[in-house]
Structure 1
Amino acid sequence: MGRRSDHTRPQLSELILREGQAHLAQVGFAAFSAREVAKRVGYSIGTLYNVFGSYDGLMLAINGRTLTDWHDALAAALQAAPLDDPQARLHAAIRAYFDFATANRHVWTALYDFRLPPDAPMPADYAAKLAGLTGLVVAEVAAALPPARRDAAPALARSLLACVHGHCFFALNGTFALLGEDDPLGAALARVAEAIAAAQGPAA
């Protein structure tokens, strides 16, 4: 079946990733099908697994591409933010979080819906992409803190990411609407500002 000799391995990998991410964006993780991806690219399911090793390998590759896309979107938002205004830069990062999740809902939620088996280690390249994304946030949190408190930035950034993620996820799935919150982004901005102010310590 299919066009087994039509593409080099790098070309085939790129084709599968492109179509796999497109399929995921259309149907979401629960309905995602590796066989459908194989059908879309015109190769057998065995070819997909030959390239990516397994279903898990395919999902990690697709999610890894989403992490790269998200990193690039966040970096672009920060590049457009004023260098000398840490609060404005954090606001830009939070807005970019909401914007990316809203525009790429299914591939964004797949980052959290997909899980490796408990005994399977995270591949180094995937971990590096995740660290690169979170590293952007840690750097902005650190810049908003006094020099003496910047060693707290990694832990604080993790908590702030959890806060922003919760606000964003509740906004997308309708929970905030049920709770009567009509400005989830504004609420996230306010909670982050409060946490940063508390971490800065008492005013002189």
Structure 2
Amino acid sequence: MGRRSDHSRAELHALILNAGAGLMAETGLSGFSAREVAKRVGYTIGTIHNVFGNVDGLVMAINTATFALWADALEARLAAAGPDRIAVLVDAYFAFARDNPLRWSAIYEHRIAADAFPPAQGEVRGRLTGIVVREVAAALGHAPDAAVGTLARSLVALVHGHCAFAVSGSWAAMGERDVEGEALARVRESLAAAGG
């Protein structure tokens, strides 16, 4: 019942990836089903395995596409930013999670070995971190180097923790209200301690 000859491999890749991303946005990882993706595109689940290797390969590709979307959104926000680019970074992190909660969560819920990423996907995913490293280096008045990269990744983890608590409702349950403001305050303290 599949339309095996209707699309080239590249077209199938795009078709399945777009349908999978749409399903991920609707259901998150917990409700994600390759069988449902196959149904939406009118092909068999075997076609998905043929194009992506397995369901993990499809989820990895969807999450990589989410990273690309996120990096594009961050660059767009920074292009319109005033002088306080660190505040824009924090705000953009929270905004992306709010606007794409299930796709954002799927990035962190999907467990795979770090060496399982195809190099091209690693480059796409690394673009987001590269933007943060660039902005942290600028805030510190340094060139990007290993120490700045380590600090930037720690700051991402700090903001992510606050954001995860906000998305889950844990922050409000603790009686706190301004989760984004607190995340920004901790980032500013860390940058000040690092000499920024």
Q: Into which bin does the TM-score normalised by the smaller protein fall?
A: over 0.9
Aligned match of 2:148: 153
Q: 1:159 to 1:35 in 2, by over 3 A?
A: same
Distance 1:18 1:149, change over 3 A: closer
Tell me the amino acid that sits aligned with residue 31 of structure 2: A
State the secondary structure of the residue aligned to 2:30: helix
Per-residue deviation, residues 70-116 of structure 1 (Å, max 9, x unmatched): 1100111111113xx3xx11111111110111111111111111112
Q: Distance in 2 between matches of 1:152 and 1:21?
A: 35
**Residue correspondence of structure 1 range 49-60 to structure 2 within 5 A:** 49-60=49-60
- What is the one-letter code of the residue matched to 2:105? T
* Alpha-carbon separation, structure 2, partners of 1:70 and 1:133: 7
Match of 1:185 in 2: 180
> Percentage identity across aligned positions?
53
Q: In the superposition, relative to structure 1, how do residues 128 and 120 fare at CA in structure 2: closer, same or farther (>3 Å)?
A: closer
Task: Determine whether 1:101 maps to 2:97.
Answer: yes
TM-score, normalization by structure 2: 0.94
Runs (4+) of structure 1 exceeding 4 A deviation are: 148-151
- Which residue in 1 is equivalent to 2:170? 175
The structure-2 alpha-carbon separation of the partners of 1:121 and 1:12, relative to structure 1 and needing over 3 Å to count, comes to: closer
Name the residue aligned to 1:138: 133
What is the RMSD of the two structures over their aligned residues, measured on CA atoms?
A: 1.7
Partner Cα distance (2:15, 2:161) in 1 = 33
Are the equivalent residues in 2 in contact too, given 1:163–1:188 (CA < 8 A)? yes
Select the residue among 101, 104, 118 that pairs with 1:123: 118
* Count of equivalent residues: 196
| Unaligned runs of at least 5 residues, structure 1 | none
**Secondary structure class of the residue paired with 2:124:** helix
Q: 1:112 aligns with which of 108, 113, 116?
A: 108
Which position in structure 2 is the counterpart of 1:200? 195
Paired amino acid for 2:90: I
Shift of 1:53: 1.2
Q: Deviations over 1:31-63 (max 9, x none)?
A: 110000000110000011111111111111111
d(CA) in 1 for partners of 2:114, 2:142:
39
Shift of 1:3: 1.8
Q: 1:24 aligns to what? A: 24
> How many Å separate the matches in 2 of 1:167 and 1:89?
19
Q: Cα offset for 1:120?
A: 5.0
Letter in 2 for 1:115: R
Which stretch of structure 1 is more off in the superposition, 68-77 or 123-132? 123-132
